[in-house]
Amino acid sequence: MNFEIKPHIGIGSVEINMTRPEVKKMLGKENFSGSNEDLDYYFDNSLQIEFVNDKADFIGISYHPSYNVMYKNINVFDTEAKELFNFIASNEEENHQFDASEYLFPKQVVTLWDADEQYDRIGSETRLIWAQIGVGSLNYLEAVS
């Protein structure tokens, strides 16, 4: 299974502004991990969806062996953190400075969180890999800015 990161749209078939019931139906009960107030989790908590007024507002995804996560044909969990950062930054108009803790690309509302070797599941923990990649709505961008 492949999940494509689509700025301003979503990740894979999960889209910003989808309702909670729509997301649950699409992803299936077998992939559902649980809920916590305004958050639903799927694929052993590797996919998290935050809801505002029952609509998806932020979608965050981490590595899981049952899927690949792609950003413009690059596997985000098989690409070194700084290289992925620079590639995403190249799709923005302004200059960005690498930060291994967390980063938000405001034009795309794409987030990167916690680059560390422990998240390199594909390369045997030898490279800095982002723990989570996310896509948010414009409301999410406003809330975190």
pLDDT tens figures, 8-66: 999 999 999 999 999 999 999 999 999 999 999 999 999 999 999 999 999 999 999 99
Instruction: Kindly state the tokens that stand for 116.
Output: 């560390």
pLDDT at residue 92, rounded to an integer: 92
User: What pLDDT shows up at residue 18?
Assistant: 98
pLDDT of 51 reads 98
For residues 29 and 95, give the distance between their C-alpha atoms in angstroms, rounded to a whole number. 42
Q: Which two tokens stand for residue 98?
A: 């690498």
8 A C-beta contact, residue 66 and residue 46: no
What is the predicted pLDDT for the residue at 34? Answer: 97
Three-state DSSP state, 117: helix
Question: What confidence score (pLDDT) does residue 49 get?
Answer: 98
CA atoms of 100 and 123, how far apart (whole Å): 18
The residue with tokens 């996560």 is 69
Name the residue range of residue 105's domain.
2-144
For residues 107-115, average pLDDT: 98
Q: What is the pLDDT of residues 71-94, one digit of tens each?
A: 999 999 999 999 999 999 999 989
Q: What is the pLDDT of residue 72?
A: 96
* pLDDT in the model for residue 26: 95
CA neighbours closer than 13 Å in the CB half-sphere of residue 95: 1
Helix extents (H) in the chain: 20-27, 81-89, 138-144
Q: Which of 45, 20, 22, 47 is nearest to 33 (CA)?
A: 45
Residues β-bridged to residue 94: none
- How many domains is the chain partitioned into structurally? 1
| pLDDT value, residue 1 | 85
What confidence score (pLDDT) does residue 145 get?
83
Rounded Cα distance, 96 and 104, in Å: 10
What's the pLDDT at 83?
Answer: 98
Q: How far apart are CA 51 and CA 109, in angstroms?
A: 16
